[in-house]
Chains A and B, each alone.
Chain A
Amino acid sequence: MASSTTTISRLTTLWESPKTVYGWFATVDHKTLGIRYLVTAFSFLILGGLEALLMRIQLFHSDMSVLTPEQYNQIFTMHGMTMIFWYAQPILSGFAVFLVPLMIGARDMAFPRLNAFTYWMFLLSGLFLYISPFLGQAPHAGWFAYVPYTLTEFSPGMGLDFYAAALIFLTISTTGGAINFIVTILRMRAPGMAISRMPLFLYSTGTISFVTLFALPALTADCIFLELDRRWGTHFFGIADGGSTFLWQQLFWFFGHPWVYIIFLPATGMLSMIVPVFSRRPIVGYPFVAIATFLTGVVGFGVWLHHMFTTGMSDIAMSIFSAGSMTVSIFTTIQVFAWLATIWKGRPVATTAMYYAVGSIVLLVIGGLSGVFTGVIPVDWQAHNTYFVVGHIHYVLIGSNVFPVFAGFYYWIPKMSGRMMNEKIGKLSFWVMFIGFNLGFFPMQNVGLLGMVRRIYTYPQGVGFDGMNELITFGAFLFGIGVLISICNFFYSMKSGARAGENPWNADTLEWSTSSPPKAYGSEHIPLVATRHPLWDDFDEEEDPENDRVLDWGRLTPTSTVLDAIPVGVATIPEDSLAPLLMSLALFGFFLAIIYQMMWWTLSALILTLLIGCFWMWPRTKEEVVIE
């Protein structure tokens, strides 16, 4: 392609954030924000992992007293919340924020300032939640927080107020992110990247963004009800005044089960990117995988009652939701078979990323099978409140989230940092993690079937659980050591890893056409896409001799039609701004004031938020770009 120093220097001036304190806090660059998302979410993974290890020490033997029951409950709750809300979804958002614009050949997200805002909201909501342990009043009712235990009568402290407010806080971030992904993926694709040519990661991210829009309000409403009942004297959940305890569970799981797919689908999308590249062939059954991804999101709305089979409901409701749960496993199976067929028909390359990808398929199948067990109602009645379910959820979540995320790290860190990760240490880390994981979580299913009850801080002596629990604790620590090896590998490789170059894996998607790490403006010429595998297929008309696709007279990126990606406009991208950070700080104050019922502070924080919003949106003439 024609490339000239003048256009490059113009693009750099336009797109690079200044390397100052202001630039650090004000940047709207999706690459910087994506990496921040990843670092923050990974820190929450470590935090949640340490909490898990504390629990495992307590459960090492029967009747141990490392933790008091209340401490155990708090740590157990914080572990669940940290992992499910502040690690599992945000880390996928991190990958998506970094990768989606590069994959579609856009220069930034559709709403870059919203992108910065959702990052700061994510970070601050996590910090907000972690205020509560320092007050000695962390939430202690599990990540699901069933009423009536969570009403003030039984949980008088501030813990569950932090729970409700932190979740509403995070919901704003997640919803904003979903809106941003939807508009970006549907409207900002490079010319020619028709919907039938999108990388599968975009299908999964797009699907879960729609799911987010429709599922999260149930959680918001639920948390509003809970907070109103706890501190403002309403009667949503108290039976005595006509409330219903099951209202909480209904709304929570109406949100909760789609959330499982929100933290699962983008990870499968990542596998659908990684497995074909290391099998050296296109994925088998691209349209089936795309459709299965979308249908998982849709059918995921029809399975939530399977979390409540033991609460008592009509036979017809149980049958429908049991069937729904079985149906959804069909779509997952389609994806699994597509990956297996891709490996089967291809020439697999054994890289660390591929190790993690294949490992995750194995774990996902084991977890999926125990999921079919629990989808069968009589089995569920037996196993519901035991460690069988704990084993199942960890197989599914670690198999379908943590392992793909590690595969993603080993695959995309060369793009993000410009340096290759060490393969030998990576494979060692994989084996330690894989063996540790199976030693830790497979016996959980066994002790569960033997009758060990979940969510309890200890178990009695002499019922035969001790040996298995020692094994589980040993496995958990081994898993932790495996993660630690990868962390060490990261720091080692960042210092002395080999230079990555543009496309170290010889991959097919557009993010590999940029330099590593990518320039602030992405690629100099907006790419033109004619196939599903732009970097594998030659395409004669890609050249841009007249610099038509450089767009170097403003912060610009093309917009295109939803289906065929025919270019229809040029979108302006706003400049750096402090407003997103300031607004999330004001909202932090708002949520803190409202749970302590300091109404004047609440009102002040709200007014401050609105004023920052006015400042954020106020039109400034120099940002206007004249295209006549």
Chain B
Amino acid sequence: MSTVQIPPPRVSLATLPLDQKRGMHGMWCVIATESMLFVTMFAAYYYLGSNKDRWADLVAPKWWLALILMVILLASSAVLMWGEHQVKKGGFTAARIALWVTVLMGLGFLALQGFEYAVEWKDTTPYSDSYGSIFYAITSLHALHVIAGLLLLMYVGVMPRYGPTARTPHKPYTTVGMYWHFVDAVWVFIVLLLYIIPNLQRYMHVHH
């Protein structure tokens, strides 16, 4: 045969370090497919909204609680990033504290979202019309992701010395952290698409 032969560089396999990246690569794939789940949901939101008044201007949702929720989640992400930084430096106790602070902030998010449902959304329910159905579907699906993220974080929080060492096949702290950042980023899109833009549309409609 006449194909070109280029031998790989001579590397001694026996001396290579332990691979710790597979977990993170798997997590990236999870994030890709979960993002697509939310993209689908947003597409359904716009598809249901096409040719209807509601999305455009009738009742735009109040956005101030959603913004506070966003601040909570982004702050929790910042705390967790500080924790990841600590893990890299070897400050495992500080990392564990950062993780549990993140968990508390996540729980705060869930409580406040429950409050928002109960107060701001008591007239619109999943059963009232298609707007209520898709709004609750998206936000509660996100809440389920928050719960999943919290469970993962808590699991890493009680893991014995596993995350931090250099001799283990995975890096659970950073891997789970990436999932948490993803969940937070989704909320930013929810705020933008489900809260801010309808308000902008309403503003444009009223003033022009």
Contact = CB atoms under 8 A, between A and B. Distances in A.
A178 to B, nearest CB: 7
A110 B159 contact: no
B204 interface: no
B175 to A, nearest CB: 11
A541 B7 contact: yes
B22 A529 contact: no
A482 interface: no
B126 A234 contact: yes
Contacts of B8: 191-192, 528-530, 564-567
A570 B1 contact: no
B19 A228 contact: no
User: Most A CB atoms within 10 A — which of B47, B162, B169?
Assistant: B169
B5 A537 contact: yes
B44 A251 contact: yes
B93 interface: no
A187 B25 contact: yes
Contact of A282 (B3, B9, B41, B172): B3
B130 A531 contact: no
Contacts of B26: 110-111, 114, 179, 183
B70 to A, nearest CB: 23
User: Most A CB atoms within 10 A — which of B8, B16, B37, B167?
Assistant: B8
A243 B48 contact: yes
A225 B130 CA distance: 11
Nearest to A567: B11
B44 A624 contact: no
Interface string A245-269: 0110011001000000000000000
B14 interface: yes
A516 B30 CA distance: 35
Contact of B36 (A213, A250, A610): A213
A425 interface: no
A545 interface: no
A114 to B, nearest CB: 8
B155 interface: yes
A159 B41 CA distance: 25
Contacts of B123: none
Contacts of A379: none
A626 B165 CA distance: 11
A216 B22 CA distance: 23
B127 A234 contact: yes
A178 B171 CA distance: 22
Contacts of A532: 3
User: Most A CB atoms within 10 A — which of B39, B44, B160, B167?
Assistant: B44
Given A233-B127, A242-B131, A217 B1 contact: no
A330 B19 CA distance: 41
A214 B34 CA distance: 9
A473 B4 CA distance: 53
Nearest to B54: A242
Contacts of A175: 33
A251 B18 contact: no
Contact of A242 (B4, B36, B129, B159): B129
B201 interface: no
Contacts, number: 189
A87 to B, nearest CB: 23
A244 B30 CA distance: 30
B56 to A, nearest CB: 13
A528 B22 contact: no
Nearest to B134: A236
Contacts of A251: 40, 43-44
A228 B137 contact: yes
B30 A548 contact: no
B7 A247 contact: no
Nearest to A232: B126
Contacts of B43: 250-251
A179 B36 CA distance: 14
Given A247-B44, A250-B47, A570 B130 contact: no
B16 A570 contact: yes
Contact of A571 (B19, B52, B128): B19
Interface in A545-580: 548-549, 551, 558-559, 564-572
Nearest to A540: B7
Given A213-B32, A571-B169, A191 B13 contact: yes
A366 B60 CA distance: 54
A625 interface: yes
Contact of B33 (A216, A539, A617): A216
Interface string A79-111: 000000000000000000000000000000011
A142 B22 CA distance: 40
22 contacts: A114-B26, A179-B29, A182-B29, A186-B25, A217-B36, A228-B137, A234-B133, A234-B136, A235-B129, A244-B48, A250-B43, A250-B47, A530-B7, A530-B8, A567-B16, A569-B18, A570-B17, A570-B19, A571-B18, A571-B169, A624-B168, A626-B167
Given A234-B126, A531-B5, A548-B14, 16 more contacts: A191-B8, A212-B33, A224-B137, A225-B44, A241-B129, A244-B130, A530-B6, A531-B1, A536-B1, A559-B19, A566-B11, A568-B19, A571-B22, A619-B159, A627-B17, A627-B18
Interface of A: 110-111, 114, 175, 178-179, 182-183, 186-187, 191-192, 212-218, 220-221, 224-225, 228, 232-236, 238, 241-244, 246-247, 250-251, 254, 282, 526, 528-533, 536-537, 539, 541, 548-549, 551, 558-559, 564-572, 610, 614, 617-619, 624-627
- Across the A-B interface, give the 10 residue pairs with the lowest CB-CB distance, nearest first: A192-B8, A569-B19, A242-B130, A217-B37, A234-B133, A619-B162, A179-B29, A571-B19, A217-B36, A213-B33
